[in-house]
Amino acid sequence: LSCSDFNSFRFLIKGGLAGAAVYVAYDQGLLGSGTQGAEALKKAQETLPPAIQEWTNYLGWELPPTPKFDFSLSDSWNKGVHTVMSALSVAPTRACEYTMEGWKYVKDLVK
């Protein structure tokens, strides 16, 4: 095998893993609506720790306890939407204020 063959093989493996990751994300609902994403995240939070614990017990490894997060994806999304909409609603007023301040600054420089 030449170096280019190895690089091609490595590219195929990486592409396959990326494709599999996208498929799993789509299949589990992570690429769907906000509600589907929140449900998929909750399902993953319930499923992954026991699976990881089972593998570490099988391999004889000891991992530190996982931190607990009190995080609501839908609340964060809603807060972000409110923040953006609030910024957009005051944008014309702020733009006018900043323009007036800019003109005043330029006039003071010209004097």
Q: From 76, 1, 6, 63, select the one nearest 34 (Cα to Cα).
A: 76
Find the DSSP H helices in the chain.
Answer: 3-27, 34-59, 73-110
pLDDT tens, 48-61? 777 777 777 777 77
pTM over 0.85: no
At residue 23, the pLDDT reads: 81
Higher pLDDT, 104 or 80: 104
Write the pLDDT tens digit of every residue in 17-71.
Answer: 888 887 877 777 777 777 777 777 777 777 777 777 777 777 777 766 666 766 6
